[in-house]
């Protein structure tokens, strides 16, 4: 009995601590809307007209190929002509510069030149279509067909929808006589899908003109419905950072010979074992980088997850194991390792003298290119394997943009205006975007696409039957119509 009462007391204290921490987490998670009085009423939007504009853009095949010789660059000229015809007020009021051949930079001059400009981004190019999947498309991928409440085709989700939505919003604001206080820049690169040179060239161009930027919004995560298991309502993970990128080429040289008398270890065997060691020794899982997202989304989370998020000191191991069990969530909490290319040999009965592979890493904030490269060398631990980074495919994780600023709070406020029952939170982007280049001239770089996506929609991005609903396009135009006013008002 003398041990029973202290044990009960400790259990009660523990339960009280867990409950209190859970309550405080949920209470502190909400974002107070940032008030803003627009001088302009929300305009009536013609959904069919907006859909037709996106449809026309989809029909122009601005595909970026890994082999530049396959690119049909004349299609970018066609797209530029289409934009000029579709948005006459925008092209009559904003200055337009063409950078790096086909990337577009528009400047909408604000009334106060002393204020740093804000940037709204998208890209013009799209990924190719796998010819083996053509018969699986409900409508041809470049038809831009408007049917069943959707606009169908490549680029409808990634990311001509955002390009068109931004331009629609600017055209509407000009029609309403809006004059920004803070200068607005529109930045539309032409080669984002191949990690290209358009966006870096635009940033260099702005730097050469001595321009620093107050805030940037590029493509990113969307409003999610039913994607996170157990979460209630809508969740909006807003990208405040993105993972770094590193591709390492592994090379093994050997003497070769006839396959009838192979050596004990061949070039391919040595290389295969090196890759196996890398995959058998994943980078450590860390929860600190996703805690802000846990906190922000906690009001929508199931009760057990709320308790776990609030008490990682006790349940951290369990949460870590649960997240690491699925590829999508594991990628959010560690630097990933992905062998993507493997080459070796010329004939089935000839031992190769040369074998090489490329392994791609996506670096969690806090890791670095040098540290990951050193870790790879340590894990492989074989002098026969030469390890070298591919210079074009190596950059550090981005800085983390602040969330305690009006720029971020305005994004959250507009989302709360347009979507009911929504929980917003800062997050890390797992993929690469053009936005990473803008950290050179801005400390507030955000990544978000204001459309509602269900779980099946995520498979359509870069996939079969890419499409967007007319309702989603309406929401996107409304979002940018509101956010452009907030960001360019001078009240940040």
CA distance 211 to 118: 11
Looking up tokens 């960001």, which residue turns up?
487
How confident is the prediction for the chain on average, in pLDDT?
94
pLDDT at 1: 59
Lowest-confidence segment of 9-13, 49-53, 172-176, 344-348 by average pLDDT: 9-13
CA distance 368 to 177: 48
Q: What is the mean pLDDT of residues 309-317?
A: 90
Residue 387: its H or E element: strand 385-395
Pairing state of beta strands 445-454 and 215-225? parallel
Regarding pTM above 0.75, the answer is yes
Q: How many CB atoms lie within 10 A of CB 273?
A: 15
CA distance 467 to 155: 8
DSSP character for 285?
Answer: P
DSSP character for 451?
Answer: E
CA distance 206 to 407: 20
Q: What percent of the chain has pLDDT over 90?
A: 80
Question: What distance lies between CA 390 and its chain's CA centroid?
Answer: 22
pLDDT at 482: 97
Question: What distance lies between CA 419 and its chain's CA centroid?
Answer: 21
Q: What percent of the chain has pLDDT over 70?
A: 99
Q: How many CB atoms lie within 10 A of CB 356?
A: 18
372 contacts: CB under 8 Å, gap ≥ 6: 246, 283, 335, 361, 363
DSSP character for 42?
Answer: P
Phi (first) and psi of residue 372, to 5 degrees: -65, -40
Contact 188, 160 (CB under 8 A): no
Q: Give the pLDDT confidence of 400-457 residue by residue, as tens digits.
A: 999 999 999 999 999 999 998 899 999 999 999 999 999 999 999 999 999 999 999 9
Pairing state of beta strands 336-344 and 215-225? unpaired
Q: Which residues are catalytic?
A: 125, 192
Q: Give the pLDDT confidence of 119-155 residue by residue, as tens digits.
A: 999 999 999 999 999 999 999 999 999 999 999 999 9
Exposed/middle/buried for residue 491 (C-beta within 10 Å: 0-12, 13-18, 19+): middle
Give the chain's domains with CATH numbers.
1-29+300-327 (no CATH), 47-242+398-487 (3.40.630.10)
Kindly indicate the confidence band of residue 273, based on its pLDDT and cuts at 50, 70 and 90.
very high
Q: How far is CA 460 from CA 141, 280, 375, 381, 449, in A?
A: 11, 31, 35, 41, 15
Contact 62, 79 (CB under 8 A): yes
């Amino acid at each position: 009995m003398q041990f029973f009462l202290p044990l009960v007391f400790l259990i009660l204290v523990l339960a009280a601590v867990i409950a209190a921490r859970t309550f405080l987490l949920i209470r502190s998670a909400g974002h107070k809307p940032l008030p803003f009085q627009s001088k302009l009423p929300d305009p009536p939007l013609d959904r069919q007209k907006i859909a037709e504009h996106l449809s026309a853009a989809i029909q122009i095949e601005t595909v970026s190929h890994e082999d530049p010789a396959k690119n049909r660059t004349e299609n970018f000229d066609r797209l530029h002509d289409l934009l000029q015809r579709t948005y006459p007020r925008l092209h009559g009021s904003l200055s337009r510069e063409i950078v790096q051949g086909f990337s577009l930079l528009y400047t909408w001059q604000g009334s106060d030149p002393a204020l740093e400009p804000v940037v709204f981004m998208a890209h013009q190019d799209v990924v190719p279509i796998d010819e083996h999947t053509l018969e699986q498309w409900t409508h041809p991928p470049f038809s831009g067909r408007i049917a069943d409440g959707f606009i169908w085709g490549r680029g409808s989700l990634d990311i001509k929808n955002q390009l068109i939505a931004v331009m629609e919003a600017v055209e509407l604001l000009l029609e309403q006589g809006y004059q920004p206080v803070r200068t607005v820049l529109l930045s539309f690169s032409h080669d984002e899908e191949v990690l290209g040179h358009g966006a870096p060239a635009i940033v260099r161009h702005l730097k050469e003109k001595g321009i620093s930027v107050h805030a940037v919004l590029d493509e990113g995560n969307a409003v999610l419905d039913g994607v996170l298991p157990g979460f209630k309502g809508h969740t909006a993970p807003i990208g405040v950072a993105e993972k770094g990128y590193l591709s390492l080429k592994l090379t093994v040289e050997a003497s070769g010979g006839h396959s009838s008398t192979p050596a004990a270890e061949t070039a391919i065997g040595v290389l295969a074992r090196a890759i196996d060691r890398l995959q058998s020794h994943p980078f450590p899982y860390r929860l600190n980088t996703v805690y802000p997202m846990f906190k922000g989304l906690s009001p929508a989370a199931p009760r057990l997850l709320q308790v776990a998020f609030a008490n990682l000191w006790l349940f951290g191991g369990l949460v870590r194991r649960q997240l690491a069990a699925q590829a999508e969530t594991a990628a959010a909490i560690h630097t990933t390792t992905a062998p993507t290319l493997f080459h070796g040999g010329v004939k089935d009965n000839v031992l190769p003298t040369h074998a090489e592979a490329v392994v791609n890493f996506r670096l969690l904030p806090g890791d670095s290119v040098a540290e990951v490269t050193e870790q790879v060398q340590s894990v492989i631990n074989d002098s026969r394997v030469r390890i070298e980074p591919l210079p074009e495919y190596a950059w550090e994780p981005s800085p983390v943009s602040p969330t305690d600023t009006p720029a971020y709070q305005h994004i959250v406020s507009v989302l709360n205006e347009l979507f009911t029952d929504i929980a917003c939170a800062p997050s890390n982007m797992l993929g690469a975007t053009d936005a990473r280049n803008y950290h050179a001239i801005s400390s507030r770089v955000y990544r978000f696409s204001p459309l509602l996506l269900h779980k099946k929609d995520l498979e359509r991005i870069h996939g079969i039957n890419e499409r967007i609903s007319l309702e989603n396009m309406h929401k996107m135009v409304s979002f940018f119509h509101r956010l452009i006013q907030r960001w360019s008002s001078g009240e940040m």
